[in-house]
Structure 1
Amino acid sequence: MNEMSSTTNLLDHFEITTLISGIFRTMDEQRFDEGWAEAYFTDDLQMTTPLGVAEGADAVRHLEQAVGRFSATLHISSDALVRAEPGARTANASWNAHMTHVHLDSTLQARGEGADPLFTVGGIYEGQLRRTDSGWRISRMSVRAVWTTGEPPVLPEETATRVAELTGAQASS
């Protein structure tokens, strides 16, 4: 491997891991200003979560709504593995995440005294990225929960029904 390709790989890795950290920071600070997603995602983003698959603007709204179901979140990413050939227009990445979610007061009140205020997830993200004129952007992203503690958020009825259909579980809102 020559010096130029080594430098390119390090730069790509740095840019992609910085992008991942930026997404998580934006989610945790709930900074969803108009056009915020353009800094992180392609227009044709496809996102896969335990709640299903969403594409484009729907995927962005799905992400905003998911974070909005909590009063606070803290997402920590680690062990990013980036696979990009020097000068390539595409890359793949995977990373581990520890995601802590603080339930809304309304959720805790609905669940009653002694309700656990936290829902914590350990998961693995997979992403496909494209190099654009503005830098690397994620075009496909999926998250898979490896473990959870606490109860997930109270979901709107239509979302709970959709999750039940996807998982074969009984719907509860």
Structure 2
Amino acid sequence: MSETSSTTDLRDHFEISALISGFFRVLDERKFEEGWAGAFFTDDVRTATPVGTAEGADAVRLTEEALGRFKATLHLSSDVIVRRAPGARTADVSWNAHMTHVHLDSTLRARGEGADPLFTVGGVWEAEFWLTGGGWRMSRTLVRPVWTTGEPPVLAAPVSAAGR
């Protein structure tokens, strides 16, 4: 899409930015109550992160599992860019993110004395948003790390729901 949000699209830009902030808050507070993902994702969402790729309910489970690998997290977003053609029900959105993860105590013990408790990522999120009857929802997300500090969690082989 060639057009970016303008003064006539400020409401959409605000709603999408608020959805991103709310999504990050749910991740950090681990508010994974029944149906939580419906406020942020379409039913057929596709996600791609360093932890793996997944679709639909598998994407929600993968998100919950990835956050469970840490004692605490703090996700910060900035520079939200919304591209939406006039009248379109979709928008291409990107934003910068600073994501700090505190390793579980068991992870630190396994790595030995002096292990860094933090794993930090600076990256860019890219997403497709759909305007639904309930408002804007993410239908596709891609997390692209730009830099990291500290040790990432020890992961099993990357998960792909398509390969199940």
- TM-score higher than 0.5: yes
Compare the two structures and name the one with the higher helix fraction: 1
How do residues 22-101 of structure 1 correspond to structure 2 at under 5 angstroms? 22-101=22-101
The code of the aligned residue for 2:158 comes to: R
CA distances 1:132-151 after superposition (whole Å, capped 9, x unpaired): 00000000000011000000
Moved more, 37-46 or 48-57: 48-57
User: Residue 87 of structure 1: CA displacement?
Assistant: 3.2
Residue 161 (1) aligns with residue 153 (2): no
User: CA separation in 2, counterparts of 1:85 and 1:22?
Assistant: 25
User: CA separation in 1, counterparts of 2:87 and 2:73?
Assistant: 36
User: CA separation in 1, counterparts of 2:47 and 2:67?
Assistant: 14
Structure 2: stretches of 5+ with no match in the other structure = 160-164
* TM-score, with structure 2 as normaliser: 0.90
Q: Does structure 2 conserve the Cα–Cα contact (< 8 Å) formed by 1:127 and 1:141?
A: yes
Partner of 1:137: 137
Residue 17 (1) aligns with residue 35 (2): no
User: Residue 84 of structure 1: CA displacement?
Assistant: 1.5
Fraction of identical pairs, as percent = 70
Runs of 4+ in 1 over 3 A off after TM superposition: 5-8
Q: Which has the larger radius of gyration?
A: 1
User: CA separation in 2, counterparts of 1:81 and 1:7?
Assistant: 14
CA distances 1:20-79 after superposition (whole Å, capped 9, x unpaired): 111100000000000000000000000011233100000011111111100100000000
Kindly report the root-mean-square deviation, in angstroms, between the aligned alpha carbons of the 2 structures. 1.4
Q: Does structure 1 conserve the Cα–Cα contact (< 8 Å) formed by 2:51 and 2:66?
A: no
User: Residue 7 of structure 1: CA displacement?
Assistant: 5.0
CA distances 1:87-138 after superposition (whole Å, capped 9, x unpaired): 3211110000000000001101111110100000000000001000000000
User: CA separation in 1, counterparts of 2:111 and 2:151?
Assistant: 10
Q: SS at 2:13's partner residue?
A: helix
Q: Does structure 2 conserve the Cα–Cα contact (< 8 Å) formed by 1:24 and 1:75?
A: yes
User: Residue 6 of structure 1: CA displacement?
Assistant: 5.1
Q: SS at 2:67's partner residue?
A: helix
Q: SS at 2:31's partner residue?
A: coil
Residues paired across the two proteins, number: 155
Structure 1: stretches of 5+ with no match in the other structure = 164-173
RCO (CA 8 Å, sep 6+): is it higher in 1 or 2? 2
* TM-score, with structure 1 as normaliser: 0.86
